[in-house]
């Protein structure tokens, strides 16, 4: 269980991020067109999973825009949150973030549980902590970061260096 904070107040997640070197758990998330999506949909591509509580918060919006600007061929930036696909699409349209793939946990919290990012207590219980997971083309975990303070941005440089 990871210990993180929200504006300095301690909260906990259900577990820990996947170990570097392990194979990432498959998932079923919902895309902007309400389709179920899994890791197999991104086979053969490096993946950066930007896991955020909600795109309706300034730090989540900032990280999504930053990773959108860093998107490159052969790599996919997945933005994963509890937001509904409609809200995520509205955000991306308004912010011109057309290079990221938004994925919602609207049908299941299994992703958050399997990746150890489900917040267990405090005012954000039931949604995700802020984290970054980088996977290679075969879903091997190359890098993880559980951001210790939810109101803090992730370490973009380390995540992008791991993505290559």
CA-CA distance, 110 to 118, in Å (whole number)?
9
Three-state SS at 146 = strand
* CA–CA gap between residue 117 and residue 113 (Å, rounded): 6
Tokens of 24: 């990432």
> Which among 88, 109, 111 is positioned nearest to 33, based on CA atoms?
88
Written as six digits, the tokens of 132 are 């970054």
Distance CA 27, CA 128 (A): 15
Choose among 88, 99, 93, 111: nearest CA to 37: 111
Residues 6 or more apart from 35 whose CB is under 8 A from it? none
Catalytic residues: 60
Tokens of 66: 């930053």
């Amino acid at each position: 269980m990871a210990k993180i904070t929200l504006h300095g107040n301690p909260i906990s997640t259900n577990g820990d991020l996947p170990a570097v070197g392990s194979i990432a758990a498959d998932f079923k998330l919902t895309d902007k067109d309400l389709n179920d999506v899994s890791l197999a949909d991104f086979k053969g591509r490096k993946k950066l999973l930007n896991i955020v509580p909600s795109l309706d918060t300034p730090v989540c919006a900032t990280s999504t825009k930053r990773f959108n600007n860093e998107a490159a061929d052969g790599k996919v930036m997945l933005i994963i949150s509890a937001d509904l696909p409609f809200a995520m699409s509205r955000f991306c349209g308004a912010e011109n973030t057309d290079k990221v793939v938004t994925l919602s946990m609207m049908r299941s919290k299994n992703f958050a549980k399997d990746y150890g990012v489900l917040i267990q207590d405090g005012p954000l219980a039931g949604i995700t902590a802020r984290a970054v997971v980088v996977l290679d083309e075969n879903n091997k975990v190359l890098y993880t970061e559980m951001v210790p303070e939810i109101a803090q941005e992730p370490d973009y440089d380390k995540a992008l260096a791991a993505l290559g």
